């Protein structure tokens, strides 16, 4: 897939600092329409920060996020709201509104952002829930269904307005392998059925290889490898290989402490 035609999402020179610590460095990315891009990386590599910057939860300290050609970073709140209607987000926990039923959760974006007749809203809700296989659960409360189901409802809600781009934050976190496959299959199906662009943030290598058109690996706040899944099955970069093969030993350290272990245990002066 070529990255030069009409990108639905484009990141240019994104930098982000938290309390003086640089979390994202010079992130550049173009995602063409219809592509499924998976961002992988270990814990604390900046994946979530990057996703939250793209969806406008955090403002980048430098750089721009273009969604469908519109600069989301410098947009007024009203304009940002309009841009946000073009995308859907599946949060890690599903983030269902706990005071509303499953059906009301899916219906909310339709009721808030469209003038559709109530009958049509109900119909769309049933269609979206059928897509995720949960049509019979419309009247249950989020607390009454399992974590995996909540995620699927979250997905139905994310696609309620037929978004041009869907963001997934760790879609397989906390799910068993079967539920993970179900979500993966949904992501693949959505691309086929809706032609939606997907951006998936995950640390699950298996699911990344299953769904991705392109994979980008984030390490230390920057992309160290971007390419089709084939490139990730036999990586040359030792850091990528360590992550893909899940090895304990390698250039990516498990420990993130900055102080010396012995000094930390025994105090300032080692005995």
Distances (CA, A) of 176 to 142, 149, 156, 172, 204: 19, 12, 20, 8, 12
Between 79 and 185, name the residue whose CB sits nearer to other proteins: 79
108 by Cβ neighbours in 10 Å (0-12 / 13-18 / 19+) ranks as middle
The CB-of-57 to other proteins minimum distance in angstroms stands at: 6
* Residue 199, CB-side half-sphere exposure with 13 Å CA sphere: 27
Rounded CA separation 245/207 (Å): 14
- Asked if 95 and 157 touch (Cβ cutoff 8 Å), the reply is no
- In a 10 Å sphere around its CB, with 0-12 CB exposed, 13-18 middle and 19+ buried, how is residue 33 labelled? middle
Smallest gap, in angstroms, from Cβ of residue 188 to other proteins? 23
Shortest gap between Cβ of 116 and other proteins (angstroms)? Answer: 14
Residue 141 or 188: the one with the smaller Cβ distance to other proteins is 141
Residue 229 beta carbon to other proteins: minimum distance, rounded to whole angstroms = 28
In terms of CB distance, is 56 or 171 closer to other proteins?
56
CA distance 37 to 208: 9
For other proteins, the closer of residues 82 and 193 by Cβ is 82
Kindly state the smallest distance separating residue 161's Cβ from other proteins, in Å.
8
Question: Smallest gap, in angstroms, from Cβ of residue 18 to other proteins?
Answer: 14
Residues that bind other proteins (CB under 8 A): 55-57, 77, 80-82, 84-85, 88-89, 91-93, 95-98, 108-109, 112-113
Distances in Å between the Cα of 28 and the Cα atoms of 39, 50, 226, 227, 249 are 13, 11, 11, 14, 29
From CA 266, how far away is CA 271, in angstroms rounded? 7
């Amino acid at each position: 897939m070529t990255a030069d035609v009409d990108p639905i999402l484009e990141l240019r020179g994104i930098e982000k600092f938290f309390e003086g610590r640089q979390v994202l460095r010079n992130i550049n990315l173009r995602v063409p329409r219809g592509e499924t891009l998976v961002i992988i990386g270990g814990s604390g590599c900046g994946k979530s920060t990057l996703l939250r910057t793209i969806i406008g939860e955090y403002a980048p300290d430098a750089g721009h996020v273009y969604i469908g050609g519109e600069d989301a970073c410098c947009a007024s709140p009203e304009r940002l709201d309009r841009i946000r209607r073009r995308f859907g987000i599946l949060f890690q926990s599903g983030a269902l509104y706990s005071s509303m039923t499953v059906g009301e959760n899916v219906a909310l974006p339709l009721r808030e952002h469209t003038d559709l007749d109530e009958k049509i809203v109900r119909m769309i809700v049933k269609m979206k829930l059928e897509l995720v296989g949960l049509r019979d659960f419309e009247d249950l409360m989020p607390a009454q269904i399992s974590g995996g189901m909540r995620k699927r409802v979250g997905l139905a809600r994310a696609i309620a307005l037929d978004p041009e781009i869907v963001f997934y934050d760790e879609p397989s976190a906390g799910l068993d392998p079967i539920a993970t496959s179900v979500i993966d299959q949904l992501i693949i199906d959505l691309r086929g059925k809706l032609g939606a662009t997907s951006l998936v943030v995950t640390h699950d290598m298996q699911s990344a290889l299953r769904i991705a058109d392109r994979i980008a690996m984030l390490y230390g706040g920057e992309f160290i490898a971007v390419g089709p899944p084939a490139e990730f099955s036999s990586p040359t970069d030792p850091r990528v290989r360590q992550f893909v093969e899940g090895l304990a030993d390698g250039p990516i350290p498990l420990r993130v402490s900055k102080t010396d272990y012995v000094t930390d245990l025994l105090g300032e002066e080692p005995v």
